[in-house]
Chains A and B, each alone.
Chain A
Amino acid sequence: MKPSYYQSSDLKKFKNISDWSPDLGKKFFDYYNSVFEEGALSAREKSLIALAVAHTVQCPYCIDAYTQDGLERGVDKEEMMEALHVAGAIRGGASLVHGVQMMDVYEKRSM
């Protein structure tokens, strides 16, 4: 067994997921590559969104990949950190907005 569930070298093996399901693997990677092409949003903007989402889903492979991708695209550290705060705000907000439910239950059960 590997010493850790996550190995940085596994990122390079991502494409191997197609080995056991070539058709679905191909469809996924075709879709993936299309998503990141220049479009209404620039590839640079998409890279920043990916970085923020990577932190939200806490995927170490994605964090590694999109930090390096951002560096290559000329994204600086202030932009990266602002993107993370967007993720953090939504994630924190998602907890806090449930506070309304807590407040409703509290009020309903209280005299």
Chain B
Amino acid sequence: MATKSLKGRVHQLAESTRQLDFLKNGIFAPGGLLPTFEEKIKQSQSLPLRPKTLEILQMNLGYMCNQVCAHCHVDAGPDRKEMMSRKTLEKCLQILEKSPVSTLDLTGGAPEMHPDFRWFVAEASKIGVADFIVRSNLTILRANKKYYDLPDFFKAHRIHVVSSLPFYKKEKTDRQRGEGVFSQSVKALQMLNKVGYGMPGSGLQLDLVYNPSGAFLPANQQALENDFKKALKQDFDIDFNQLFTITNLPISRFLEYLIASENYEEYMQRLVDAFNPEAIANVMCTNTLSISWDGFLYDCDFNQMLDLKVVSPVQHLDDFDLDQLQNREICISQHCYGCTAGAGSSCQGAVV
């Protein structure tokens, strides 16, 4: 398993243009084996794809992370130094005050590693969004003593914690996320439970994110949630609220894995075969705006990693104008098949 990001390894797929070239050519070239995503949604009368009411503001605080997961769409890792400036964080607060969003979603990398993380959470929680999410990789809570009090900090600000845990057993988790990640994740979940997260009646929401540990789609979200709840309770006395299933999108390090393991064509075929027209109506890019560390705007975190900025005269926080942004067409490519396969996929799990 790699210990550096694609960027750190100077891998050709570190360049978003190379990824997009890959997704546009080969099996998706004109006259190729598979229809492009644009052709596919045209058949279901969903083109152009346009935003609905903005509900979720997702801020990517930076790409630094204490883990180097094999499937990471961000290409995050300890060697990534991109980080949102204080000025951009302040700008986000100003926009948050004026906008009608009901959900603020902080992601990364490991957002907790940002030096202004606690300051920002405290300021943003004063504004009072209905649902304030922090996406935590769990192991960061155990990575250093300075993070040990994060469960209490989250509790104090009524943060909704959404944590990655690809499986309820060690082997699959460690193969995807790194040796020792499962045992540290279990300890972190126990720390969160201890302050009340995931416990009945506490009002402290703790959700887990499952993504397949390989070139296959997630199963039924409810069935997997039942399996996770039973196993984590029985083996580790862990409670949580909901499980979100997320399909791995063929970009960045997951794309690297698909190509290296010769699974790319079959995986894309599987995504195309599983295209669900019902899912397209609820894809997250229709109610989300993603903000990158340097203040640019994207339809989703995946488009951010492919550097597909919003197709709008407004592309940066400095020029933020919600009315103009709402008139845009959502930028699509073949990676979008990941969000429309089967029961669909989003940062909030299945969409159908």
* A interface list, Cβ under 8 A from B: 12, 38, 42-44, 68, 71-74, 76-77
Contacts and interface: CB of A to CB of B under 8 A. Distances in A.
A9 to B, nearest CB: 10
A12 to B, nearest CB: 8
Interface of B: 167, 169, 171-172, 212, 214, 216-220, 223-224, 227, 273
A74 B216 contact: no
Contact of B216 (A44, A72, A76, A77): A72
Given A42-B223, A43-B223, A72 B212 contact: yes
23 contacts: A12-B273, A38-B223, A42-B223, A43-B220, A43-B223, A44-B223, A71-B212, A71-B214, A71-B216, A72-B212, A72-B216, A72-B217, A72-B218, A72-B219, A73-B219, A73-B224, A74-B167, A74-B219, A74-B224, A76-B167, A76-B171, A76-B172, A77-B171
Contacts of A77: 171
Given A43-B220, A44-B223, A71-B214, 7 more contacts: A68-B216, A71-B212, A72-B216, A72-B217, A73-B224, A76-B167, A76-B171
A73 B273 CA distance: 18
Q: Among the interface residues B217, B219, B224, B273, which one has the most CB atoms of the partner chain A within 10 A? A: B219
Contacts of A42: 223
A48 B217 CA distance: 17
B223 A76 contact: no
Contact of B169 (A12, A44, A73, A76): A76
Contacts of A12: 273
A80 to B, nearest CB: 13
Contacts of A72: 212, 216-219
A73 B223 contact: yes
Contacts of A76: 167, 169, 171-172
A105 to B, nearest CB: 49
Contacts of B227: 44, 74
Contacts of B223: 38, 42-44, 73
Contacts of A43: 220, 223
B268 to A, nearest CB: 14
A64 to B, nearest CB: 11
A26 to B, nearest CB: 21
Contacts of B273: 12
A74 B169 CA distance: 10
A43 B220 CA distance: 10
A77 to B, nearest CB: 8
